[in-house]
Amino acid sequence: MVNLTPKAVEKVKEIMGQQSPVPGGLRVAVVGGGCSGFSYSMQFDSGTAQDKTFEFTDLKVFVDPMSLMYLDGCEVDYLETLEGSGFKFNNPNVKHTCGCGSSFQV
């Protein structure tokens, strides 16, 4: 299962509300790339029949079967700090991350 914290759900819904038309939900995926082999992807989407769909306070989150293998148990949070703000993936499946933290190995 993929989990979004209440703060992450709130921020995604805020951004979705600014889109026209309002998207059906959020796709969270793992894609090839980055210096460690894989990176995370988040984009607005309507989902497909093959996706696993999670719901968080009326927010639909779609994960394709291949990404679900790498994201099982992952928590997505939204952080606001003095250095900046953004979404943070806490993934128990990650064995190693790159120096910049934007890609990972499993």
Confidence band, pLDDT 50/70/90 cuts, at residue 32: confident
Kindly report the number of other CB atoms within 10 A of residue 44's CB atom.
15
Q: Is residue 102 predicted with pLDDT exceeding 80?
A: no
67-82: average pLDDT = 92
Domains along the sequence of the chain with CATH: 3-100 (2.60.300.12)
The pLDDT of residue 96: 64
Flag whether the pTM goes above 0.95: no
Task: Give every CB contact of residue 88 below 8 A, 6+ residues apart in sequence.
Answer: 76, 77, 78, 79
- The maximal CA–CA distance of the chain, rounded, in angstroms, is 41
The pLDDT of residue 99: 57
Q: Is residue 42 predicted with pLDDT exceeding 70?
A: yes
Q: How far apart are CA 93 and CA 20, in angstroms?
A: 35
The pLDDT of residue 104: 60
